[in-house]
Amino acid sequence: MIKDQLSAYIKRTVEITDDELIHVLSFFKTLKPQKNELLLSEGQTSQRSFFVGTGCLRIYFKDENGQDSTRYIAFENMFATALVSFITGQPSLEYIQAIEPSELLYITHEDFNSLRKTVPAWEKFYCKYLEKAYVNTASRLLSFTTMDATERYKQLLSKNQTVVMRLPNKIVASYLNISQETLSRLKSKI
């Protein structure tokens, strides 16, 4: 059934024939990480792209003091990968972690790229994926350069309430790039 979810996701994103779709799906394998399990550590190269069937992943990096900064959170029916490393082939600065016990599909970087060469719809899919990733990252950049902590929190509440409701404060704070203490004070003020 998780393959059905992925299948629907792909069809929503690009035009693709049934044959191509079946071919593409055949490269995905399942993985069921536990809560808090790391799927990619800093310094490794990002060799897999994940699709979340159930559960939730986060992408984050650590600053020089070892503090987390969460860059992306993927719930059901979303893709997640350490995209910079996936693009460049360089070792990753980003970690990937299952926040909840999850059921995932993944495709290796190698399979992903060879599909791009043989299935034009898959190249198109990659393009759409990059567009989404870019828009998302650019909007994050905008919020860090023009908004203070309170405004970022309010924006998160209105645009992505699930993150606030479903995840522990610790991770919400890391996603807003503020300390847990500050988030706690913000919440009590609003």
Question: In this structure, are residues 106 and 48 in contact, taking their beta carbons and an 8 Å threshold?
Answer: yes
Is residue 18 involved in binding DNA (CB under 7 A)? Answer: no
Binds 138: which of DNA, a second copy, none (CB < 5-8 Å by kind): a second copy
Nearest CA to 104 out of 30, 24, 49 is that of: 30
What does the block give as tokens for 65?
A: 């003091």
**Is 57 or 103 the residue whose CB approaches a second copy more closely?**
57
* Residues in contact with 3: Cβ distance below 8 Å, sequence separation at least 6, in sequence order: 25, 28, 105
Is residue 148 involved in binding DNA (CB under 7 A)? Answer: yes
Binds 71: which of a second copy, DNA, none (CB < 5-8 Å by kind): a second copy
What does the block give as tokens for 9?
A: 């996701």
Q: Which of 83, 105, 119, 178 binds DNA (CB under 7 A)?
A: 178
Binders of a second copy: how many residues, by CB under 8 A? Answer: 31
Kindly identify the residues of this chain, within the stretch 52-81, that bind a second copy according to CB under 8 A.
61, 63-64, 69, 71
Nearest CA to 48 out of 5, 112, 100 is that of: 112
Q: Which of 19, 65, 146, 165 binds DNA (CB under 7 A)?
A: 65
Binds 150: which of a second copy, DNA, none (CB < 5-8 Å by kind): DNA
Question: CA-to-CA distance for 11 and 17, rounded, in angstroms?
Answer: 9
Binds 144: which of a second copy, DNA, none (CB < 5-8 Å by kind): a second copy
Q: Which of 84, 149, 157, 186 binds a second copy (CB under 8 A)?
A: 84
Q: Which three-class secondary structure state does DSSP give residue 100?
A: coil
Question: In this structure, are residues 112 and 49 in contact, taking their beta carbons and an 8 Å threshold?
Answer: yes
| Angle at CA of residue 128, ends 24 and 98, nearest 5° | 70
Q: Which residues are bridge partners to 146 per DSSP?
A: none
* Site of interaction with DNA (CB under 7 A): 65, 67, 148-150, 168-170, 177-185, 187-188
* Site of interaction with a second copy (CB under 8 A): 61, 63-64, 69, 71, 83-84, 87-88, 93, 120, 123-124, 126-127, 130-131, 133-135, 137-142, 144-147, 177
